[in-house]
Structure 1
Amino acid sequence: MSTNDTKLSRESIAAAALAIADAEGFASVSMRRVAQELGVGTMSLYYYVKTKDDLIAVMDDALMGEALLPSIPKDWRRALTEIATRTHDLFLRHPWALVSMLSAPPGINAMRHMEQCLEALAGTSMTAQQKLALLATVDDFVFGHALREASADGAIDVAFAKAQMATGAFPRLAEVFGKGRIPAQRDRFKKGLKVLLEAELS
C-alpha cells in the first residue's frame, strides 16, 4: 500500500468527490476521477466504496453531516429555524445536490439530522403525526426555495421587472413592489420560514 493509499478513508473519498462536483459538476464524479484527485490508483478506492452507488451514498452522508447542529436550542421554533437555515445553506453551497442526490439512500447523518429535528419538537404537545407533517412541510419549503435560488431561470431580473411595471400594465405589482425593493431571496427565505413556523398547526 502506497503512502497516499494509507490516507484513504470513506470520509476523504467523499470530500474529494464533493470537491469535484462543486468545481466541475456532478457528471464529472467517477471512481477514476476521484482516484485522480486523491493521487491513488482507482482500484485502491474499492476497498472503501464498492460501487458508484456506494460513492453517491458516502457523498450524501457527508452533505447531511453539514446540516447537523452542534447543539439544539430549547425553543422549538428557533431550533427548526437553525436546522432549516443550515440545510438551505448547504444546498446553496452544493446546488447540484438538489437533484443529483435524490436517489441516495439515507445514511447515518441523515438519521442524525432527523433525530435532531424530532429532538427540537420533543417538548411540544404535537402528536407524532403532527411532527412528521410539520417537518415534511419545512423540508419542502427549504428544498423548493433552495432549488429556486440555485436556478438561474428562477432569478428575478430586477431591471426588467421595474421597466415592465413602469408601463402601467401591472398596477397591482407596481403597488406592491414599485416604491420599494423587490425582496432578496435570502430575506424571502427567512420571512417565509418564520411565517411557516408561526402558523397554527391544523
Structure 2
Amino acid sequence: MLHPHTEVRFISEEIGRGVFATRPIPKGTVVWVQDHFDRVFTEAEVRSLEPVYQEILETYCFRDRCGRWIFCWDNTRYVNHSFSPTCILTPYGFELAVQDIEVGQQITNDYGFFNIIEPFDCIPEEGCQRSRVLPDDILRYADIWDARLAEAFTFFNSVAQPLSGLISKESHDIALAIAKGERNADSIRCCYFAGENACSHA
C-alpha cells in the first residue's frame, strides 16, 4: 500500500503518469508496504498466462529476492524511475523516504532495486552519468543505497508513520532497533534475486 498523502498525475506523453506527494512526507517515512492485496505470482504462473496478461505484469510488476512477481493493486504501479530516487526499498517489505518529499514532488524509485529481467535505457537526468537500468544494479549500487537508508532509518521514530499498522511485527521491531542504533540495517543486497534456487527453502 502506498502512503495516503499521494496522488497520480499525468506528466507527459513521453512519461505518462506519476505519483506525487499531496502533503510533506519527511525523510524516514514508510512510503510503501507490501500488503495482503498485492498479488504474488511465481515465474511459472506468469508464463502460463495469455500474452496480454504477461505484458501487463512485465510493465507493472517487480520481482522479489525469490524471483516472485509482485503486482501492486494500488497506485504504486505508477511510481516512476529515477537515478536519484526519493524512496528506497528495504529488505523488510517496505520502502523509506530517503529525503524530505515536498508537496507536489514526485515519489520515485530506482528500478535497479527491482530485479529487472532485461536492461532498458532511461530519460537522461541532469548530473547523472547513468543512462541504463541493469539487472544487477542492486549489487552495483548497494553501498550507496544502504548509506541513504541508514540515514533515513534514524528518523523512523520521529516522523508520522500512517502505514506502520501494515508492517509485520518482526519488520517493525527491526526498524525500531535500527532507528535506536541497537543494530545495523541489512543491506539492500538481500533483495537481489540470485537465481531459481535463491529461495528453495521458502
Q: Relative contact order, CA 8 A, sep 6+: which one is greater?
A: 2
The alignment's TM-score, normalised by the length of structure 1, stands at: 0.26
Higher CA-based Rg = 1
Question: Which protein has the bigger strand share?
Answer: 2
Question: Which protein has the bigger helix share?
Answer: 1
